[in-house]
């Protein structure tokens, strides 16, 4: 950990504070850093943007990808004021940054009313046992789209 890392984490924490002060959303902030420069920033905007996916990490990842004009974050670091939830971890694995630094832990978040443990549990359950009913429907018709994809000569993989 370098003094740079501390400075970047403090910016993520500052974004979280600003989001709380201005009623943008929950107490979370995140930044994306590439070559020692901040290329994406965000605070949680769930309640102000009416967007359940607008967690700080998602907001920062989207902004950084726009900046890079690319859908991945190779050689980037993410600094987030709190350990990412399963949705944000999924976004992070798709974005493929090199490293993630987090401030609070998910236990700290749970103690403040942001408990994401139920999502970790749900993801491990068989589909039939999940709290939100999930059913398979028209699989053979849906499979045809994958055939289209596989036969598409100019497909852009990711």
The mark string for 30-69 relative to a copy of itself (x by CB under 8 A, - otherwise) is: ----------------xx-xxxxx----x--xx--xx-xx
Cα 152 to Cα 158: distance, rounded to the nearest angstrom:
14
With binding defined as CB under 8 A, does residue 22 bind a copy of itself? no
Q: How far is the CB of 111 from a copy of itself (least distance, A)?
A: 8
Q: Is there a contact between 60 and 31 (Cβ–Cβ < 8 Å)? A: yes
Among 23, 35, 36, 153, binds a copy of itself (CB under 8 A): 23
With binding defined as CB under 8 A, does residue 124 bind a copy of itself? yes
Cα 67 to Cα 70: distance, rounded to the nearest angstrom:
8
Annotated catalytic sites, by residue?
57
Cα 83 to Cα 109: distance, rounded to the nearest angstrom:
8
Of 41, 115, 37, whose CA–CA distance to 81 is shortest?
41
Among 4, 108, 115, 117, binds a copy of itself (CB under 8 A): 108
């Amino acid at each position: 950990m370098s003094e740079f890392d501390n400075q970047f984490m403090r910016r993520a924490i500052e974004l979280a504070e600003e989001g709380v002060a201005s009623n943008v959303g929950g107490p979370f902030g995140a930044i994306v850093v590439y070559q020692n420069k901040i290329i994406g920033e965000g605070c949680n905007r769930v309640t102000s943007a009416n967007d359940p996916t607008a967690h700080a990490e998602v907001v920062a990842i989207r902004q950084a990808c726009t900046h890079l004009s690319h859908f991945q974050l190779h050689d980037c670091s993410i600094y987030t004021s709190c350990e990412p939830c399963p949705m944000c971890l999924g976004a992070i694995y798709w974005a493929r940054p090199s490293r993630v630094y987090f401030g609070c832990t998910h236990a700290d978040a749970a103690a403040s009313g942001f408990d994401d443990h139920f999502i970790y549990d749900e993801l491990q359950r068989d589909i039939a046992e999940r709290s939100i009913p999930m059913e398979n429907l028209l699989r053979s018709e849906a499979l045809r789209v994958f055939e289209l994809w596989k036969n598409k000569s100019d497909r852009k993989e990711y």
